[in-house]
Structures are given as structure tokens and as C-alpha cells.
Amino acid sequence: QVQLVESGGGLVQAGGSLRLSCAASGRTFTSYNMGWFRQTRGKEREFVAATTWSSGSVYYAYYGVKGRFTISRDNAKNTVYLRMNSLKPEETAVYYCAAGVGPYSDASAYDYWGQGTQVTVSS
């Protein structure tokens, strides 16, 4: 049974940092993209960042997370991380980890999803 389990969310003040973790289990993800998405109520899930298990290539959303957010992976632990610095109140959302083999920024291309972890950034 495939499982993606996120952790590390919480409440942080604007300008603060959090590190999210996503522990993957249940199958081999070598050929998969591992992505982070976020969603606020009433809005579509939006792409934040992605990486690949095999090469470690990284991709970031165009809207300004690059330079503040860092995605990384630990193959030995089957875990993907999202380090988020200089957080802004408008980045309050549920953050989801996902695994898929299609276009890395397309939520519909991901086959497996975690339950999500809430990130709240106070002003």
C-alpha cells in the first residue's frame, strides 16, 4: 500500500521558516517525480516544487518561491523535504506531497497524494 505521509507544518510568524517532510513507502519511486503542492480554501491546488528520486533535478514554481524554498530528498530514508524560508501570510495553506510520472507542475499527473499538512503564517 502506497503511503505518503507529510509532517512539519504548523504556525509560524511572517518571515519565519519551516521544513516539511514527506515519507514515502509502499513501492519503488525511482522513476517518479516528487512534488509539493499547496491549496487554500476555494482555490485550485498549485504547484510549489518538485524533484526526482533518480537524478535529484529540482523545479520550482515561477511565482517566487525559488530562492526562499528548497526541495531536497534523502534516498536512503525515502523522504522528500521542503525547506521554506521568509514565509509570507499569503502562503498559508495546506501543503501536499505527491508522487507521479507526468509533467512535474501538473497536479493531475500525480498518482499518489499525502493527507496534507497545514502551514499557517501569521502577520
User: Mean pLDDT in the chain?
Assistant: 94
Burial class, 15, CB count within 10 angstroms (exposed 0-12 / middle 13-18 / buried 19+): exposed
- pLDDT at 42 exceeding the cut of 80: yes
User: 5 falls in which pLDDT band (50, 70, 90)?
Assistant: very high
Residue-wise pLDDT tens digits, 70-92: 999 998 999 999 999 999 999 99
* Sequence-ordered list of residues with C-beta below 8 angstroms from that of 43, at least 6 positions apart, any chain: none
Grid cell 520550482 — which residue? 60
Nearest to 117 by CA among 82, 68, 85, 87: 82
